[in-house]
Homo-oligomer: A and B are copies of this chain.
Amino acid sequence: MEFTNFFNPHSVAIVGSMSSGKLGAILAGQILEGGYQGILSAVNPKSEGVLGIPGYPSTSAIPAVPDLALIVSPASTVASVLDECGRSGIHSALIITSGFSEVGNHEGEEEIKEVAHKHGIRFIGPNCAGIANARFSFFPTLELRTSAGGIGFITQSGALGGVVLGRAQQRGLGISKFISYGNGSDLSQVDFLNYLADDEDTKVIALYIESVANGRAFMNALAECSRRKPVLVIKAGRTTAGTRATASHTGSMAGSDAVYDAAIRSSGAIRVRTVDGLLDICEGFTQISHLDGKKIIIVTNSGGPGVLTADHAEDIGLSVAEPGTDLQAQLRTFLPGHCSLKNPIDLTVEGTEENYRNTLKSALKFYDAAVAINVGTPYLDNLSLARGVVDGARSSGKPILACFAPEQLMTESINYMQQAGIACYPNGEQAVSVLAEIARYEGYRTRRFEKKIIQSTAVSRTLPGNGKMLEPEAMTWLKENGIPVPDFLVAANEKEAELACEKIGYPTVMKVVSPDILHKSDVGGVIVGIRDEESARQAFKAIQKSATGKDFRGVVIYPMVKDAQEILLGLSTDPQFGPVVAFGLGGIYTEIWRDIVLRVAPVEPEEALEMIHEIRAINLLKGARGKLPFDLENLAKTLSTFSHLPFIYPQICEVDLNPVFLRPEGLVVGDVRVITR
């Protein structure tokens, strides 16, 4: 997809009323004030022009075909405007007008899609706040104009876009491209991600979404883009109230937030929750191109802020190790005796330009990055300390983030450092949060990468019995597909049950087989700990009795498993992302701890192993308190095999293996439930 017409057009038609206070006139004013140098035309039934822009009755009346149509005319007119655009040879449109699917007008939105498709027009919108390309001085948007910079910003919500642009402007952060896409009925996140991945002006991408149409296409675009530059995502609609609000204002049904979360993280993107968090990290990425590791040094002239920074850094997984004896000895040669040489290094209120410069230079031979803190008072010279920090960064070649506070005393210093490539934050906690995200992103870039299957391409098989499987059939099906199940035998009468128990080996477990009974335990259809022939016969009788009046097909008999760790493997189907695989603690603890990890399926063994290590109780599986550890590599292989099932058997809607018995010598499925479409 080619975006030149949208972001670098030679000529633009604004379609809508140019009367004072109307959107057309406001938009024309914004574009002119923004300094656009191309040809502008105004189009409306009255041929009304504005601010020196000539007016025409239709796009076809404009002497030369414009590259882009900006449409702000009423919703009811948009289809015919597009039709007219198409007939006059325009192939790109930005539709700001609202009043479509977001207010229930789905027909109207379908109509404009059809008209556009007929003429080969690609469009952004409707119901959006416009776009911007600051380097081209082109601001066809209702929002604030920001300076040019390294942040590419894509947003589903126009208003949220305005908030982000406003904060960016206040913080002196520049935007390479701004894209508000509203209902996204033609061009969507996937197109914009691909565009900004290639855009040289964009160093980091910020994305705000409430929902996506095709989860897997989105994931793949996100993953490919993330390998080239960092992508930050705010996904709104996490909670019941949030989802309700999202659904009502975009007309789209949002999928489960947990699945979005898994999709975003496993695609290497960074999920953030707040606008300021987003901009903090964007600022870091525009200034820092590379980070080797997680070991940081904090250099401060004041204790309290240094301590708060160290606390937060350790909380979020950075290393704040004490300097070794080598470094300490080196520091002692030039720092006064009252300075603390632990980490944070406290230069005290007497810290000088020289102290910052030399300390940073020496320390960064041993650390991956530094946070330089200066808390000033009205009577201290802060600019010289900023110089020390900048020199430290230059001579070490390593990333430094700065926190110079209070801000109102530091304007000059902050500007000086920002221009020298040092991101500045009002406090150290923010700075270390940014470093942690950058370090995490570096980790992602070097990983193996698997595109997610978008559609089932393998030979698609039908489930046995077309999906209506009794437990023994389901167990056999699992076994044939490489999922370990225990030995089992079925028995139709007392005698067979007794023999089967003997063959399996006491103690055994006996379970009812009946298409009418879903919750076997609840009706007394499961008996455990059967120890001899007599008990086996009694058990059969009891189970048969429990199935009175039901279609009783006999019993299935398993060996009894003891002292296993109960885990669960699950498959479900998400409306946006399709098959999803789950791993977690099984049995009663599933509900108490909700210690479950999700991924969009399928997962290869490497990603499966990563999932397993993400549960909070991972130490239980690694052999806690002197117990034997489990074979997690083997578990990962099984989890991977399991996650491919929906692509071989597309009828699958849900599969629950809970519990699965995990033992040092291997795992076996304890129970299985399959739900088909």
Chain B residue with Cβ nearest A163 = B405
Complex CA gap A406/B305 in Å reads: 29
User: Which of chain B's residues have a CB closer than 8 A to the CB of A304?
Assistant: 155-161, 163, 208, 210, 236
Whether the pair B236, A307 counts as a contact (CB closer than 8 A) is yes
Chain B residue with Cβ nearest A165 = B406
User: Which of chain B's residues have a CB closer than 8 A to the CB of A592?
Assistant: 617, 619-620, 624
* Stretch binding the partner chain, chosen from A35-43, A335-343, A643-651: A335-343
Contact string, A73-84, partner B, CB cutoff 8 A, digits 1/0?
A: 000000000000
Complex CA gap A322/B169 in Å reads: 36
Please pick, from B166, B320, B344, the residue contacting A407 in the complex, using a CB distance under 8 A: B166
A244 at the interface (CB under 8 A from B): yes
Chain B residue with Cβ nearest A296 = B241
Whether the pair B236, A301 counts as a contact (CB closer than 8 A) is no
User: Which of chain B's residues have a CB closer than 8 A to the CB of A305?
Assistant: 157, 159-160, 163
CB-contacts of A408-440 with B (<8 A): 408-409, 426-427, 429
A537 at the interface (CB under 8 A from B): no
Whether the pair B314, A429 counts as a contact (CB closer than 8 A) is no
Please pick, from B162, B248, B311, B591, the residue contacting A239 in the complex, using a CB distance under 8 A: B311
User: Which of chain B's residues have a CB closer than 8 A to the CB of A155?
Assistant: 304
A349 at the interface (CB under 8 A from B): yes
A249 at the interface (CB under 8 A from B): yes
Chain B residue with Cβ nearest A141 = B377
Whether the pair B593, A375 counts as a contact (CB closer than 8 A) is no
Copies of this chain, whole number: 2
Chain B nearest CB: distance from A363 CB in Å?
A: 14
User: Which of chain B's residues have a CB closer than 8 A to the CB of A379?
Assistant: 26, 142
Chain B nearest CB: distance from A101 CB in Å?
A: 13
Please pick, from B156, B161, B249, the residue contacting A346 in the complex, using a CB distance under 8 A: B249
Contact string, A387-416, partner B, CB cutoff 8 A, digits 1/0?
A: 000000000000000000111110000000
Complex CA gap A244/B378 in Å reads: 29
Contact string, A236-261, partner B, CB cutoff 8 A, digits 1/0?
A: 11111110111011100000000000
Chain B nearest CB: distance from A629 CB in Å?
A: 14
Please pick, from B160, B378, B407, the residue contacting A170 in the complex, using a CB distance under 8 A: B407
A541 at the interface (CB under 8 A from B): no
Please pick, from B276, B307, B408, B624, the residue contacting A246 in the complex, using a CB distance under 8 A: B307
User: Which of chain B's residues have a CB closer than 8 A to the CB of A303?
Assistant: 157, 159-160, 210, 245-246, 249-250
User: Which of chain B's residues have a CB closer than 8 A to the CB of A338?
Assistant: 103
User: Which of chain B's residues have a CB closer than 8 A to the CB of A342?
Assistant: 244-245, 248
Whether the pair A234, B159 counts as a contact (CB closer than 8 A) is no
Complex CA gap A617/B585 in Å reads: 14
User: Which of chain B's residues have a CB closer than 8 A to the CB of A429?
Assistant: 273-274
User: Which of chain B's residues have a CB closer than 8 A to the CB of A166?
Assistant: 405-409
Whether the pair A340, B625 counts as a contact (CB closer than 8 A) is no
A306 at the interface (CB under 8 A from B): yes
Please pick, from B167, B302, B306, B308, the residue contacting A406 in the complex, using a CB distance under 8 A: B167
Number of interface residues of A (CB under 8 A): 85
Complex CA gap A418/B619 in Å reads: 51
Chain B nearest CB: distance from A378 CB in Å?
A: 7
User: Which of chain B's residues have a CB closer than 8 A to the CB of A234?
Assistant: 308
A315 at the interface (CB under 8 A from B): yes
Chain B nearest CB: distance from A162 CB in Å?
A: 5
A143 at the interface (CB under 8 A from B): yes
Complex CA gap A276/B405 in Å reads: 13
A331 at the interface (CB under 8 A from B): no
Given known A242-B314, A248-B340, A591-B625, contact A375–B159 (CB-CB < 8 A): yes
Complex CA gap A311/B234 in Å reads: 12
A470 at the interface (CB under 8 A from B): no
User: Which of chain B's residues have a CB closer than 8 A to the CB of A409?
Assistant: 144, 166
CB-contacts of A350-387 with B (<8 A): 375-379
Complex CA gap A140/B115 in Å reads: 73
A275 at the interface (CB under 8 A from B): yes
A69 at the interface (CB under 8 A from B): no
Whether the pair A302, B159 counts as a contact (CB closer than 8 A) is yes
A310 at the interface (CB under 8 A from B): yes
Whether the pair B239, A310 counts as a contact (CB closer than 8 A) is yes
A458 at the interface (CB under 8 A from B): no
User: Which of chain B's residues have a CB closer than 8 A to the CB of A619?
Assistant: 591-592
Given known A304-B157, A305-B159, contact A310–B26 (CB-CB < 8 A): no
Contact string, A269-282, partner B, CB cutoff 8 A, digits 1/0?
A: 00001111000000
Whether the pair A591, B160 counts as a contact (CB closer than 8 A) is no
Whether the pair A245, B588 counts as a contact (CB closer than 8 A) is no
A175 at the interface (CB under 8 A from B): no
Complex CA gap A249/B303 in Å reads: 6
Chain B residue with Cβ nearest A337 = B103
A-B contact list, 18 entries, CB within 8 Å: A144-B408, A157-B305, A157-B307, A160-B302, A166-B406, A167-B406, A237-B307, A241-B313, A241-B314, A242-B307, A245-B340, A245-B342, A245-B346, A246-B303, A248-B346, A249-B307, A591-B619, A591-B624
Q: A163-B304, A248-B346 are in contact. List 18 more A-B contacts (CB 8 A).
A: A103-B338, A144-B378, A157-B303, A157-B307, A158-B302, A159-B301, A165-B406, A166-B405, A167-B405, A170-B406, A241-B313, A242-B308, A244-B322, A246-B303, A249-B303, A273-B429, A276-B426, A593-B616
